[in-house]
Amino acid sequence: MTQRIDYQKQSPELFKKFVEFSLALRQSSIEASIRDLVDIRASQINGCAFCVDMHVKEATMHGERPLRLHHVAIWRESNLFSPRERAALAWAEVLTRIPAEGVADEIYERVRSQLSEKELSDLTFQIMSINAWNRVNVGVRVAPGAYDKAFGIDKSGLA
């Protein structure tokens, strides 16, 4: 598949601001390992091949174990994730697939039992960001690996 448009070139100021927002999230209260898991899971749900590829490579570079990466799609059935990670994954799923009736109190309470209000707020912004990236990359058909060198993830060993 060919990329439909070069959104970075067509909307350079918007792209720059959104990259700045995304980079600011690296300074949030949410640890990199959870950010990686959330980015992968939302990208799987949204069918964003580019983002799944990118975030698996980033997670690998951050030291994530291969088996845990394979288990992200089945995190509910896996025993490889902590309660905090499970809460983050549940929050990522519900905010990615917002139910018609909204977010159930039960899910919110489960997540709040593992995350502070600040962490929940920061995680919500993380999920907002990855969902937006998924939408643009799916919409314009950015190919997996297209920007590996530019993003420095060519060093992941997963070419």
In a domain, 152, yes or no: no
Question: Considering its fold, how many domains does the chain have in total?
Answer: 1
In a domain, 24, yes or no: no
In a domain, 71, yes or no: yes
The pLDDT > 70 percentage for the chain reads 100
Q: Give long-range contacts, CB 8 A cutoff, 24+ apart: 131-137.
A: 131/42, 131/46, 131/95, 131/96, 132/18, 133/22, 133/48, 133/51, 134/42, 134/43, 134/46, 134/47, 134/48, 134/51, 135/46, 136/7, 137/48, 137/50, 137/51
The three-state DSSP-derived secondary structure of 118-144 is HHHHHHHHHHHHHHHHHHHHHHHCCCC
How much is the pLDDT for 159? Answer: 81
56 sits in the region (left: phi over 0; alpha: psi -120 to 50; else beta) called: alpha
In a domain, 25, yes or no: no
The CATH number of whichever domain residue 138 belongs to comes to: 1.20.1290.10
In a domain, 36, yes or no: yes
Domain encompassing residue 109: 30-146
In a domain, 11, yes or no: no
In a domain, 95, yes or no: yes
Question: Can you give the pTM of this predicted structure?
Answer: 0.96
pLDDT in tens, 74-92: 999 999 999 999 999 999 9
In a domain, 158, yes or no: no
The pLDDT > 90 percentage for the chain reads 99
